[in-house]
């Protein structure tokens, strides 16, 4: 079993820095394991888990949360796009996490 608090990712690099405080984070590690806010989940459960996370955060903060995609740079782009599509279907703003260059 993978400890979700120990997910190691190597993010792609970018020059822009955006700080978002109210968000739901979906991570994909180099082995293709998914987690939402550090809780491991399956690809099949992602849509409902993302929806639940966004709904909960919106009710708590009264703000529109952001869906952050935090993927290891070795992850296939198709897997990242799947998460973006899920977020867009849920009318969420979606952003990708990167490392500063």
> 51-101: per-residue pLDDT in tens?
999 999 999 988 888 999 999 999 999 999 999 999 999 999 999 887 776
Contact 27, 39 (CB under 8 A): no
Residue in the structure block whose two tokens are 């990167």 = 98
Tell me what the pLDDT averaged over the chain comes to. Answer: 85
Most distant CA pair in the chain, distance:
35
Q: How far apart are CA 91 and CA 19, in angstroms?
A: 20
Name residues whose C-beta falls within 8 Å of residue 61's C-beta, 6 or more positions apart in sequence: 22
Was domain 14-100 assigned CATH 3.40.250.10? no
Give yes or no for residue 2 having a pLDDT over 50: no
Domain limits, the chain = 14-100
Q: Quick check: helix, strand or coil at residue 6? A: helix
Summarised one tens digit per residue, pLDDT across range 21-54 is: 589 999 999 999 999 999 999 999 999 999 999 9
């Amino acid at each position: 079993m993978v400890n979700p608090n120990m997910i190691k990712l190597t993010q792609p690099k970018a020059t822009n820095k955006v700080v978002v405080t109210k968000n739901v984070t979906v991570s994909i590690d180099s082995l293709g394991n998914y987690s939402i806010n550090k809780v491991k989940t399956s690809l099949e459960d992602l849509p409902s888990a993302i929806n639940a996370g966004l709904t909960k955060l919106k009710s708590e903060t009264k703000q529109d949360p952001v869906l952050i995609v935090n993927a290891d740079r070795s992850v296939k782009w198709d897997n990242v796009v799947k998460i973006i599509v899920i977020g867009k279907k849920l009318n969420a703003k979606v952003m990708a996490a990167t490392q500063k260059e």
